[in-house]
Amino acid sequence: MKSTGWFRIAFVWLILFKVPAQAQDSLVNSGSVAAAEKLIDLDFSPAQRDSMMDGLRQELQTIRYFHSRDLPNDLPMALDFDPRVPGRHYEMKQLPLTWKYPEVRLPERKEGLAYYSILQLGSLIRHHQMSSVDLTRFFLARLSRWGDTLHCLVTLTPQIALLQARMADSEFARGIDRGPLQGIPYGLKDLFSAAGTPTTWGSPPYRHQPPGPDSWVYTRLRQAGAVLVAKLSLGELAMGDVWFGGMTRNPWDLSQGSGGSSAGPASATAAGLVPFAIGTETWGSIVDPSATCGLTGLRPSFGSVSRSGAMTLAWSSDKIGPLCRSAEDAALVFSAIHGSDGLDRSARWMPFNYPGQILLSGLKMAYVSNYLDSLPAQNPDRQVLAELTRLGAHLQPMVIPSHLHGSGILGTIIGAESAAAFDGLTRSHRDSLMVQQGSGAWPNQFRTSRFIPAVEYIQACRLRYRLLVLLDSLMAKFDVIVCPTFSGDQLALTNLVGYPVVVMPDGFDPKGHPQSITFIGKLYGEGKLLAAAKAFQDATGFQSRHPVLFR
C-alpha cells in the first residue's frame, strides 16, 4: 500500500477515536505502564516506556471502540478450535444402529417406573402397557414433588410436555416410530434455548432475558420424539451447584451439593425425576456432578454436538453431553444429539458406531499406571482393573506425564474466553446482582481475567496444540484408558485436547456416597468407549443402586 493510503487510514482513525491529549496523558503515562508491567511479568526501561506512549494511547481508543459495540453472548469467535491432529485417520462411515427393547412389565408400585431404563420405558409404550402421556404425567408429578427438596427445578414445562407426549402417542398409533427416545421424558440444563420456556442461565441478571432460537439439542430431541418436562438448574453461569434458587442437592445426601455445573440434570436424573438429562462441560461440569450423584455421564469429543442455542462460556472448550443412569442410555441419547447444524463453527458430523455388546478382549485398553499403581488393592478404582481383567481385557500400563501444566493452560484459555463472553456483564457492573460473589466466583474471575494479555492467551493456545500432539501420540493407540476421575491433571488435559470420557460409579464409601471411575476414549470414539462401560456395568451393577429417599 502506498504511504498516502496509510496517511488516509491514520487520518480517519484520528477523527473516529481522538480524545483530548490531556485526558490521554492522565490515563497512560510511564508510571501506569511500569505498574502494569508487574502484572504481566515484563520489565521495560524508561526509554522503552516512553517510546510506547503513543501506541498505548491509540490502543486505549481502540479498546473503547470495542466497548461501544454490542457483542451478545451468542456472537461467535472467528477462531475455531479443532482437536484433530493432522495426518490422523478418523472413521467416517456410519454403521446401522440397532436397539433391542427388553420384555418388561409395569412395576407393582408405580414409583418403580422412576428407575426404568430408556429401553424399558420404550418397551412399555410400544407394548401398550402405558402411554407417553401417562409416563409424562408420572415424571411431572415427581418433579413437582421433589424439585424444591433438591433445588434442581427451574421451570416445569407441563404444557410443552403433554403436547409432545400426545404427539408421540398419536404417531405410535399411526405406525410412526422415531426411535428409542420417542415418548420418553427428559430435562434440559437451563442454558439451552427451547421455545415456550425461559432460559435463565441460573443467574439473576438473566432471569428475564428474551428467549433465543431453539437450540440444536432441543431440536434434535424433539425430532427424535422425546418429551421436554423441565428446565433444570445449573450452577450460576455454569459454575458450581449454587444458583438463584439455592444449592442443588445430592440425592444421596441432602446435606451436600450435587456438584456442578450440570447440577440439576445430575440431581434430577439420580433421583428418578427424569429418565435422562442434557448437560454441558467446559472443565468438569458433566464429570463432577455425575461422579457426585452416581450417574453415568458422557462428555463427548469436542465438536461432536453443535452448541447453537446454548449459553457460551468458552468457545474452544464448551461441550454438550447426556447425564444418564447407564452407559446404554447415554449411547441412546448421544445417537440422537450428535452432529451439527452448521451454526456452530467448531461442530462437525462424525459417525457414532455403538456396537452394544462387545468383547473387552477385542479392545485396546490401558490404565494410567502413575495414578493407579500406588493405590491399595482394595481401592474401588483398583478393583475396576481386576474386574476388567476378569472380563477378558488386556490392560497395558501407560503414564500421563505430571509436568504438562494442563490446569494452568486451560485456566488461562477459559478465563480469557469467559471474560469476553460476559464482557458486558462486567463493565455494566450487573455482576453485582449475581448470587455468588466470593473470590473464586465468576464476577471476580471475569474481572481478574481482563488482565490476561492477548499475547499470553495466544501462547496458551499454542501450548494447547503441543499438548494435543503429545497426548495423541500417547493415547490415540488405545480404544479405552482407565483413569481415576480426579487424580492428577487428567480432567484438565482431556478437556484441553477434546477427548471423550465416560464417568460412572464403581463403588460406595462407608457413608453410602457413590465413588466413580473414568474411561477415556479415542477422539470421536464414543461408540467403543460406551460399549466398554456397558460391559463393566453389566458385570458389576453399581449403576443399578439408587438413593433410598427417592426409590
Is 447 within the bounds of a domain? no
Identify the residue whose cell numbers are 452394544.
356
- pLDDT score, position 199: 98
The grid coordinates of residue 47 equal: 526509554
Specify the pLDDT at position 13: 43
In whole angstroms, give the CA distance from residue 203 to residue 36: 32
Q: What is the mean pLDDT of residues 146-168?
A: 98
pLDDT in tens, 396-438: 999 999 999 999 999 999 999 999 999 999 999 999 999 999 9
Does residue 451 lie in a domain region? no
Residues 387 and 266 in one domain: yes
CA distances from 311 to 4, 160, 162, 280, 303 (A): 45, 22, 26, 10, 15
Predicted confidence band of residue 387 (pLDDT cuts 50, 70, 90): very high
User: What does the pLDDT read at residue 23?
Assistant: 53
Does 154 reside within a domain? yes
* Percentage of the chain modeled with pLDDT above 90: 95
Mean pLDDT, residues 175-187 taken together: 98
443 inside domain: no
* Nearest CA among 320, 333, 244 for reference residue 286: 320
Residues 239 and 122 in one domain: yes
Same domain flag for 55 and 179: no
DSSP-assigned states of every residue in 478-512: -SEEEEETTSTTHHHHHHHHT--EEEEEEEE-TTS
Does residue 73 belong to any structural domain of this protein? no
517: which strand partners?
484, 504
Q: C-alpha distances in angstroms, 450 versus 40, 273, 427, 461, 524?
A: 12, 40, 11, 17, 34
Total domains in the chain come to 2
Q: Judge if 58 and 181 occupy the same domain.
A: no
Q: Is 50 exceeded by the pLDDT of residue 98?
A: yes
What is the residue range of 59's domain? Answer: 10-67
pLDDT, tens only, 468-506: 999 999 999 999 999 999 999 999 999 999 999 999 999
| 251 and 328, same domain (yes or no) | yes
Give backbone dihedrals phi and psi of 35, rounded to 5 degrees, phi first: -65, -40
pLDDT surpassing 80 at residue 525: yes
Q: 222-251, pLDDT tens digit by residue?
A: 999 999 999 999 999 999 999 999 999 999
- pLDDT reported for residue 509: 96
| Ramachandran category for residue 102: left, alpha or beta (phi over 0 → left; psi -120 to 50 → alpha) | beta
Work out the pLDDT band at 27, boundaries 50, 70, 90: confident
The DSSP code sequence of 304-318 is: SB--TTB--S-TTT-
Query: Would residue 434 count as lying in a domain?
Result: no
Q: Is residue 441 part of a domain?
A: no
Both 398 and 282 in one domain: the answer is: yes
C-alpha cell at 228: 421436554
Identify whether residues 170 and 237 lie together within a single domain.
yes
Please check the confidence at residue 540 and state whether its pLDDT lies above 80: yes
Cα distance between the two ends of the chain: 74
Residue 278: inside a domain? yes
Q: Mind listing the pLDDT tens digit for each residue in 288-306?
A: 999 999 999 999 999 999 9
pLDDT at 21 exceeding the cut of 50: no
59 and 114 both lie in a single domain:
no
pLDDT at 227: 99
Are 397 and 483 found together in one domain? yes
* Backbone angles phi and psi of 168, in degrees to 5: -60, -45
Q: How much is the pTM?
A: 0.94
Instruction: Please tell me the distance from the alpha carbon of residue 426 to that of residue 85, in angstroms, as a whole number.
Output: 36
Tell me if 319 sits within 8 A of 305, measured CB to CB. yes
CATH code assigned at 537: 3.90.1300.10
Q: For cell 428467549, name the residue.
A: 211
- pLDDT at residue 1, as a whole number: 44
**168 has pLDDT over 90:** yes
Instruction: Assess whether 258 and 336 both reside in one domain.
Output: yes
Q: For position 424, what pLDDT does the model report?
A: 97
Q: How confident is the model at residue 26 (pLDDT cuts 50, 70, 90)?
A: confident
Residue 551: pLDDT band (50, 70, 90) is confident
Among 67, 82, 98, residue at a domain's last position? 67
Pair 223, 354 in one domain: yes
Could you tell me if 360 and 485 lie in one domain? yes
